[in-house]
Amino acid sequence: MTSKKKSSKTSQKTPESPKQGRHFGRFLFSLKRLLSQNFFVTPLFQKQASFLLFCFFYYFWAFRYRDFLYVAQNYDLFPLDKSFLIESLTRVGGLLLWLTSFFIQFFYYPLIGGAILAFFFLLLQRLSALFFRLNGRLYFLSLIPSILIAIMITQIGYYLFDSNTGLYRFSFLIGLILALSIGELYSRFQSLKGRSLFGSVAYLLFYPALGFFAILAVCFCIMKEMALPHSSVKKILRFEIGLLILIVVPLFWFRFYSTMIPFSFLFIAGLVEQTVVEQDFISYTYFWTIISLLFILYLTFFFVFVYSTKSTLNSQSATIPSSSSISPSESQSKTLTLRTQPWTSFAILLLFFVLTLLFSFHDRNFFIALSMAQPLENGNWNELLRLEKESQIPFRPLVLMRLLSYYRKGEIGERLFERSISSQTPYRLKKKDLDFRIYGDRILYYYGFNNMAMRGAMNNYVVCKNRSIWTLKTLTLTSLVNNEPDIARRYLRILQKTIFHRKWANRYLNYLDSPLNQQSTFNVFQNNNEQSSNKQAKSQSAEQVHHELLESRRFLPPEDFLEKELLQYYLIACDFLTQNYSQGSINQQEMQLAFFLMVHFPEDFWTSVQTYLKRNQLTVIPKAILEALIMISEVNQRPFDFAPYQGAEEKLKQFHDYAETITRFSNERNPRQKNKIKQELIAKYSDTFWYYVAFVNQNEF
């Protein structure tokens, strides 16, 4: 009777529906049938999926993000010293950061760093599957945490040049692996006393070392305890005891070691840097989004784990059909489905890989800026120019690299404004911070602003606590140029304690111990480099260092100059006294004129260009300087005789045509015609200083 009633009820509930309803019902039925099949049930597929996951992440980090890894280790410092370990242990979560810094140093070789990161992501995937028992058709869910964290690390973007931010992104991966490992070890204890003792002692000991991730490990342990089959009263009691331990242990450490952590960071210590959270909280949008998604995902895994545990317990009480009841045709069809299942699994796996590539940070300018690290260190100006030309519309740091390369090659006067510059930064970051972080101190050093380079590096080292390899190298170079060997030795001794930068430090220490260092580098340069090939040098590397320092000295301005910061977005423009600076080389004079143009000082430019033309007795004025001279003369109605200079009259006619086109552009009200005139301006004048000022610069540079 009951079966008949049920069948009648179901027949009443499913009347004939229109075509759309039938199609939707078929779709739901096919989707349910698809999900009911065990795509990931074969152990062979799990091994193959793990292998593919490792290969994908190895390609992702070792090749696609190879420059990302190299810059990450350059903006970090891991000395092989006990004092560094002791210092790390004095802060909550310090041991986790110490471990993270230890692995980051291997990013010096991206092939090795990519293998390390690929192993970590594979380990995280396997631990997620093991801890939450994601087997069968749910196995592919264990890939999601690894992919989310990979996207989160790449979303550092331009904040990679802030070592604290990059360090905490990588430490999140290692901390999550340790938290899952502690949770899995907790579940291996059979008795309640063993689990309670292990969880309490581990939390008490690991909280100072791991901080937030020790709290996360306790949450995983509570999840495991709540999933065990017990009465509701026991579950509530154990949950309350676990929650009490979760709160009391950080308070215990805060009470007796309050200097280790401020109270506001009691439960998130080791997750993010305190100063970053207070000052730049909005920049962590992707970071907090990924963390929220991970916690929601792990809670979902927990409920799936509880549900699957109950279903397995219920299935054990059910009767299992005998193998004789299965017909040969059914067994053959099952064999065929098992053969075709891995292909569907691999399709889902490839889909996750594609999503990782699509959602990772892949701004073109960002990749170019990353690839400029090694050429800038080696002083390879041609390579920097080649890389900068790969960007369609470069932003300020890339343009600055181009100006630096032309300046070092002595071509800045001719080619200063030949390419446009983006007036918008491609990432949500304060322009001042962005420009200063991207190799800022080293660029100042190569420009010859030695004191400003030292000040910028020292600011990063002391104020921003940016203790990085890059900063120490800049401080070493500036100290050597300033003839301060004792200060340089201090930085070199720190670099000597590293693994991969020890050779660089020994190279400069050998120079300091050589006879070439016994006399002032500046005095050697003033003697026309006669002693640059000193035969008393002990090694060829010392002579190479000696020539490098001579080259750096050559670009230094005269000693009696006035240094003043003019650019508000980048600290490279110095207002040198015109008379003193005009005594330098023609390249230095053109650099000074370029600065006056970039910071909109037409009066200073007009005065300096007169001295520049008279002193050098030029018959051909460099293109950018001539265009600026014509513009100031025509706009400000200042008479100037262009007849003695070749090509000046033709350039003057071109400016009149440009001014007429600009007038038509300003008076035009039709958007289509206005855009057409702008395209005409781009085609004819995009490589001129006039277009740079009117459209690209927009009084922002």
Q: How confident is the model at residue 324 (pLDDT cuts 50, 70, 90)?
A: very low
Residue 528: how many other CB atoms lie within 10 Å: 8
User: Per the structure block, which two tokens stand in for 633?
Assistant: 């003369």
- Check residues 252 and 394 and name the one with the higher pLDDT: 252
Q: What's the pLDDT at 528? A: 41
Task: Please work out, in degrees rounded to the nearest 5, the angle formed at the alpha carbon of residue 592 by the alpha carbons of 586 and 594.
Answer: 105
Averaged over 536-561, what is the pLDDT?
Answer: 65
Please write the tens of the pLDDT for every residue from 162-173: 766 778 889 999
- Check residues 107 and 612 and name the one with the higher pLDDT: 107
User: Per the structure block, which two tokens stand in for 294?
Assistant: 């991970």
Q: In sequence order, what are the residues at sequence separation of 6 or more whose Cβ sits closer than 8 angstroms to the Cβ of residue 370?
A: 67, 68, 70, 71, 160
Averaged over 544-566, what is the pLDDT?
Answer: 60
User: Per the structure block, which two tokens stand in for 598?
Assistant: 């970039």
Averaged over 532-548, what is the pLDDT?
Answer: 62
Quickly tell me which residue has 């000395």 as its tokens.
Answer: 79
Contact assessment for residue 138 and residue 110, using Cβ atoms and an 8 Å cutoff? no
Q: What's the pLDDT at 78? A: 92
Please check the confidence at residue 535 and state whether its pLDDT lies above 60: no
How far apart CA 504 and CA 526 sit, in angstroms, is: 28
Please write the tens of the pLDDT for every residue from 124-174: 999 999 999 887 777 888 889 999 999 999 988 887 887 667 788 899 999
Beta-bridge partners for 565: 574
- Check residues 553 and 40 and name the one with the higher pLDDT: 553
Q: What's the pLDDT at 321? A: 46
Q: How confident is the model at residue 8 (pLDDT cuts 50, 70, 90)?
A: very low
Nearest Cα to Cα of residue 343 among 136, 39, 38: 39
Q: Indicate left, alpha or beta for 465 from its phi (over 0: left) and psi (-120 to 50: alpha).
A: left
Contact assessment for residue 209 and residue 174, using Cβ atoms and an 8 Å cutoff? no
Nearest Cα to Cα of residue 154 among 454, 440, 363: 363
Q: What's the pLDDT at 328? A: 43
DSSP line for 37-54: S-TT--HHHHHHHHHHHH
- The pLDDT mean for the chain works out to 76
Please write the tens of the pLDDT for every residue from 491-524: 999 999 999 999 999 989 988 888 777 654 444 4
Residue 102: enclosing H or E segment and its boundaries? helix 94-104
Averaged over 609-631, what is the pLDDT?
Answer: 85
Question: Best-predicted range by mean pLDDT among 234-248, 412-426, 531-545, 629-643?
Answer: 629-643
Averaged over 95-122, what is the pLDDT?
Answer: 95
Q: In sequence order, what are the residues at sequence separation of 6 or more whose Cβ sits closer than 8 angstroms to the Cβ of residue 428?
A: 282, 283
From residue 308, alpha-carbon distances to 174, 206, 305, 412, 697 in Å are 28, 31, 5, 70, 62
Please write the tens of the pLDDT for every residue from 235-282: 777 778 888 888 888 888 887 766 667 777 778 888 877 655 444 544
Q: How confident is the model at residue 570 (pLDDT cuts 50, 70, 90)?
A: very low
User: Per the structure block, which two tokens stand in for 9?
Assistant: 């009820």
Quickly tell me which residue has 């340089």 as its tokens.
Answer: 488
Contact assessment for residue 400 and residue 572, using Cβ atoms and an 8 Å cutoff? yes
Q: How confident is the model at residue 566 (pLDDT cuts 50, 70, 90)?
A: very low
How far apart CA 584 and CA 574 sit, in angstroms, is: 15
From residue 470, alpha-carbon distances to 72, 74, 373, 451, 624 in Å are 10, 6, 10, 17, 34
* Strand runs labelled E in 455-525: none
Region of poorest pLDDT, from 10-14, 264-268, 361-365, 377-381: 10-14
Nearest Cα to Cα of residue 171 among 142, 115, 204, 209: 209
Residue 136: how many other CB atoms lie within 10 Å: 13
Cα 575 → chain centroid: 33
Please check the confidence at residue 428 and state whether its pLDDT lies above 50: no
Contact assessment for residue 256 and residue 157, using Cβ atoms and an 8 Å cutoff? no
Q: What's the pLDDT at 99? A: 94
- Check residues 321 and 352 and name the one with the higher pLDDT: 352
Q: How confident is the model at residue 27 (pLDDT cuts 50, 70, 90)?
A: low
CB burial string 604-613: b at 16+ within 10 A, e below: bbbebbebbb
Q: What's the pLDDT at 398? A: 82
Tabulate helix, strand, coil % of the chain (nearest 5): 75, 0, 25
Percent of the chain exceeding pLDDT 90 equals: 21
Please check the confidence at residue 38 and state whether its pLDDT lies above 80: no
**Per-residue H/E/C for 388-440:** HHCCCCCCHHHHHHHHHHHHHHCCHHHHCCCCCCCCCCCCCCCHHHHHHHCCH
Q: What's the pLDDT at 607? A: 80
Quickly tell me which residue has 């550092």 as its tokens.
Answer: 156
Handedness of CA 282, 284, 290, 291 (dihedral sign): negative
Query: Which amino acid does the sequence have at 481?
Result: V
Averaged over 528-547, what is the pLDDT?
Answer: 57
Quickly tell me which residue has 């190569």 as its tokens.
Answer: 446
Residue 336: how many other CB atoms lie within 10 Å: 10
Please check the confidence at residue 567 and state whether its pLDDT lies above 60: no
Question: At 407, phi and psi to the nearest 5?
Answer: -65, -45
Note the pTM of the prediction, 2 decimals.
Answer: 0.74
Residue 154: how many other CB atoms lie within 10 Å: 23
Quickly tell me which residue has 């979560």 as its tokens.
Answer: 93
